[in-house]
Structure 1
Amino acid sequence: MTTSNGAPVERRDTSTLNRRLIYNNYFMDSLSHVTRERIQERTIHSKGAGAFGYFEVTHNVAQYTKAEFLNGVGKKTPVAVRFSPTAIERGGSDLSRGVRGFAVKFYTKEGNFDVVGLSTPMFFLKDPILFTACIRSQRRNPSTAIRDSNMLWDFMTLHPESMSALLITLGDEGIPKGYRHMHGHSIHTYQFQNKVGEIYFARLHFKPDIGKASITTKEARIFDGTDPDVFTRDLYEAIACGERVSWTFSMQVMSLKQALNVSIDVFDLTLEIPEDEVPLVPVGRLVLNRNPENHFAEIEQLAFCPCNLVPGIDGAPDKVFEARSFAYRDAHLYRLGANFNKIRVNCPFYAHTYNRDGHAPVGDNERDLPNYYENTFNGPVAYNDIYRSNLIEIFEEEPNNLSQTARIYNNMLNGEKDRLISNIVDSLGPALPSLHIKAVKIFKEINSELGRRVEQALKEYKREPACSLPFEN
């Protein structure tokens, strides 16, 4: 054993009783480190689990994109994947009901490509200025420091476009049976480009090979009281025991003409693109087969960003994608520092940059290469792509998705509808009566039966007395 400076630690230095403290380098080294070993947790998706593996191409999609890692059946690309609840703190429970993150980092030969996706096929909003309000409404009340139904339902009723994602999370899919059973969706419609500059548009999907499965609120409460890290444990143990942990990667792909003729706006994040209009095209298989050796180093420092793109994938034209490209990068700069891409788990295969200095890690700091561009001293140069397309510009209408929200409800079986109503009332019931009225009005606009059932259930809801604890007689 040594100090962080490499000096060997003599046994007598492992005890401080009746000894001078300030000259004990082992004591000073360990104590000064422990008071600094926490970094800022993620603002959202704070708690998470992750693993590593590979992506293998099973179908040729070269006609749609020139992205190197997607071209060549049998080609394998290393990946890192992180799963996470959305609004739960780092020490919280895996079993919260809500949207979950499904983020994949592809370590390609042309740089890292990140899909920062979700468990739902749509998002809560399409105007990124609402993002901070959406997240804060699901966090803790600034006065009481507890989660507040008034905050959540105030936001949701002010912005009814959020109801599609809300109905899914309050339905049976709201709590998966572990991350291995969870779907992943890009939510954005990406612009692709092939080798001759033709553009296509695609939404990306990851479907678990083990099958999608969920648990009920009652089951989740039992797990929550015995093992709140059950999803994290399940993922780790499955990989450690050599079980199959994989997803089929597909995409809904369209030409520009096809995209403009779909019955919905395919660039609207609050809408799911119907598979009967734009069927899934299989691409490959995502396999996880290695657990992290150190969670902090490999998962907590793992940094995803929608801005991490590769040639052949231009990004998405919607404003939420543009906003996320800034926000995620800014979050990593704040949490991990200016050199976060030099942290081992975030490093691309190749990097030739003019960035220099800053807080560690700096690596070799680009050695003796010039630190400015352009130069005449053999520094790295930009490449030319005569077929490169520009990201299209779109005009985004005000959100209007209640007809699709109605289809989500109509497609539920009777048992799931019953559980949905129960979960809605569990969440909405503690909120103010004025919010009950607003929510019921929106539910009736979505589906008259849904609205009537929620209204009746709220009338029967019994609010707990303000001064009693739930375990008191």
Structure 2
Amino acid sequence: MVASNPISTLANGNLLIFVKYTDASFTGQPSENPGSVQQIRYGETNGGLVVLSDTQTIEILAHFARERIPERSVHAKAAGAFGEFEVLDDISDLTDAAFLTGVGKKTPILARISTVGGEKGSADTVRDVRGWATKFYTEEGIQDFVFNDLPVFFIRDPIKFPSMNRSHKRHPRTNIPENNMFWDFHVNNPEGIHALTHLFGQRGIPESVRHINGFSVHTYTLNKSDGSYVYVKWHFKPEDGVKTMDPERAARLAGTDPDYHVRDLFNSIEAGDHPTWIVSIQVMQPEEVKDAPIDIFDCTFTWPYEKYPLRRVGRLTLNRNPDNYFQDIEQACFSPSNMVPGIGPSADPVLQARMFSYPDARRSQLLPAAAQQTSQQGICSIHYVFSQLRPVSLSSRVQVPTHEIYDGQVTAFATQFNENKDYVQARQLWNIISAESREKKFIGNVLGTFKGLDPQLKSRVIEYLGLVDKEIKRQLEQG
């Protein structure tokens, strides 16, 4: 709301509102001087007792005390923007999801791209996973994709999720990041070796968030109303290519320009240089699952491209910056459980746990009213159900998991590490790193985390990583 010739300004939450002969209170009553405070005056001094009937002052102070929300436990620091998704190739043979059918169809989106471990004021150019959350405002409801820029995850047992994230953050006693804590978790939970090989590789620090991949990590389903379904993995590939940053420059920027990635995305979009990504899927038929070379419900594995090639779906474009970062990006919340008809989850236990955990984090983080704020609402949002004046139209397709039947005993189950299986893809990735002559960079990145490391733990880390390739062990021992 901007009035012409404003004579004063008041901050309403995080949005600066210009006013002319009016205050910024919730009553909207005119005020000759919005900066004045009702008082019982004390002589000719500036002193006085503020009266309770001055609702304008009380409302502004009360709002200020409540306008912030708790910081996210993870993914606190982020860049974000609005844009659109355009269908390039129709996949109506696989799904009934309306926003994925019809070449040329466009759907508005909101994207939030974040680091994981750091706090809201932390540096952008750190070695970390990037979260890639996208909200599609479809005519059938909200579709959230909550992806990462690495194709695999560090764990496959969801109960480890809190411990894994804590090990990547600050030590509870010293309040500083702790290499001992990081490596103590990973050598004792070795299934993350594939993700670690990615993290300490060239792509651990991106040049910008405009040049990162997005991966679903988990297996999802696409389904149709006739009961047919397929398993898929989603991929976002930047059309301008993946670009990375060397650790020395990243460390320098972390000190001189900690908001480098946030600034880069905002300035690029503002200048009309809109980043784009090609959206593709890998597809697996249900009857292929039994003979698949990997466990498709294990998010520490990727699907081989040669067996399950990418099939193009569409293009993501980010083309509009938020008008109010706090309202549009900071309060935006995403959940893998937000799915429209035609898209479904799989039996990946980590995905199943995230479908609970993400909405629960939103309930904890946001004020009660904020769940209804603008960026969460779909284009078909409603205010209450069973309205006679404006009845809700019902979809003929209800999202129910009719495509899979689970029959078995409820048991306490924890996955087991299998060196012959769990090291395979990490070794394949190391061979690629070596072929590109980037092994010294990888070794240097790992050695950077050895500072202050307990000697016994350091030996275990070297043995752990050395099982990927003996050359890694040799070079780490040489230091």
TM range (shorter): 0.7 to 0.9
Instruction: Identify the residue that residue 252 of structure 2 maps to in structure 1.
Output: 222
Tell me the distance in 2 between the aligned counterparts of 1:273 and 1:175.
24
Q: Is 1:202 the equivalent of 2:232? A: yes
Match of 1:390 among 385, 396, 403: 403
Query: What is the CA distance between 1:25 and its match in structure 2?
Result: 4.9
**Residue type of the alignment partner of 2:121:** G
Query: Counterpart of 1:292?
Result: 322
Q: What displacement does 1:31 show?
A: 2.9
- Using the TM superposition, give the Cα deviation of residue 34 of structure 1 relative to its aligned residue in structure 2, in angstroms: 2.2
Shift of residue 387 of structure 1?
9.7
**Where does residue 424 of structure 2 map in the other structure?**
403
Letter aligned with residue 319 of structure 1: P
Q: Distance in 2 between matches of 1:129 and 1:386?
A: 27
1:286-342 residue CA offsets vs partner (Å, 9 max, x unmatched): 011110000011001111000001111111211111100110010111112455542
CA distance in 2, matches of 1:36, 1:343: 15
Kindly indicate whether residue 16 of structure 2 is the aligned counterpart of residue 3 of structure 1. Answer: no
Matched, 1:157 2:187: yes
Q: 1:165 to 1:25 in 2, by over 3 A?
A: same
Measure, in 2, the Cα distance between the counterparts of 1:450 and 1:12. 67
Per-residue deviation at 1:14?
4.4
CA distance in 1, matches of 2:399, 2:363: 33
Q: Say yes or no: does 1:96 pair with 2:126.
A: yes
CA deviation after TM superposition for structure 1 residue 235, in Å: 0.4
Q: 1:124 aligns with which of 143, 147, 154?
A: 154
| Counterpart in the other structure of 1:470 | none
Structure 1, residues 257-299: CA drift from partner, whole Å, max 9, x if none? 2333321112210011111111000000001111000001100
Equivalent in the alignment of 1:424:
446
Amino acid at match of 1:305: S
2:197 to 142, 145, 167: 167
Q: How does 1:355-366 map onto structure 2 within 5 Å? A: 364-365=383-384
CA distance in 2, matches of 1:335, 1:410: 43
The residue type equivalent to 1:22 in the other structure is V
2:5 maps to which residue?
A: none
Q: How many residues align?
A: 440
The residue aligned with 2:288 is 258
Structure 1 partner of 2:46: 18
Consecutive unaligned residues of structure 2, counting only runs of 5 or more, are 1-18, 40-44, 408-412
CA spacing shift, 1:341–1:36, aligned 2, 3 Å: closer
Q: Which AA in structure 2 matches 1:231?
A: H
The alpha-carbon deviation at position 379 of structure 1 amounts to 7.7
> Is contact 1:193-1:389 (8 Å) kept?
no
Matches within 5 A, 1:16-415: 18-20=46-48, 22-23=50-51, 25-338=55-368, 340-352=370-382, 364-365=383-384, 383=396, 389-391=402-404, 393=406, 398-400=416-418, 401-413=422-434, 415=437
Alpha-carbon offset, residue 410 of structure 1:
1.3
For residues 138-191 of structure 1, what are the alpha-carbon distances to aligned partners after superposition, in whole Å with 9 as ceiling and x for unaligned? Answer: 111111111111110000100111121112111110010110001000001101
Change (3 A) 1:212 1:456: same
> Structure 1 residues 315, 392: closer, same or farther in 2, change over 3 A?
farther
TM-score normalized by structure 1? Answer: 0.87
Q: Distance between the aligned counterparts of 2:59 and 2:32, measured in 1?
A: 14
More displaced stretch, 338-347 vs 238-247:
338-347
Partner Cα separation in structure 2 for residue 26 and residue 337 of structure 1? 22
1:464 corresponds to which residue? none
Contact 2:137 2:379 in 1 (8 A): yes
Give the residue type in structure 1 aligned to 2:416.
E
CA distance in 2: counterparts of 1:261 and 1:146, whole angstroms: 46
User: Against the structure 1 CA distance between its residues 341 and 30, is the aligned structure 2 distance closer, same or farther, given a 3 Å change threshold?
Assistant: closer
Inter-partner Cα distance in structure 2 for 1:388 and 1:172: 40
Check whether the contact 1:317–1:391 (CA below 8 A) recurs between aligned residues. Answer: no
For residue 53 of structure 1, report the CA deviation from its aligned partner: 0.8
What displacement does 1:396 show?
A: 8.5
Query: In the aligned structure 1, how far is the partner of 2:98 from the partner of 2:392?
Result: 25
Identity of aligned residues (%): 36
Unmatched 5+ residue regions in structure 1? 353-363, 371-377, 458-473
Aligned match of 2:10: none
> Does the 8 Å contact 2:229/2:403 carry over to 1?
no
Local SS of the residue matching 1:428: coil
- 1:52-80 CA distances to partner (integer Å, 9 max, x unpaired)? 11100000111111111101111111111
Deviation at 1:207, TM superposition (A): 0.4
Superposition deviation, residue 380 in structure 1 = 7.2
Aligned partner of residue 69 in structure 2, secondary structure: coil
Deviation for aligned residue 1:385:
5.8
**In the aligned structure 2, how far is the partner of 1:100 from the partner of 1:387?**
31
* Equivalent pair of 1:201/1:255 in contact (CA under 8 Å): yes
Q: Do 2:85 and 2:108's aligned partners in 1 also have CA atoms closer than 8 Å?
A: yes
Q: Report the CA distance between 1:391 and its aligned residue.
A: 4.0
Residues 387, 103 of structure 1: alpha-carbon distance in 2 compared, 3 angstrom cutoff: closer
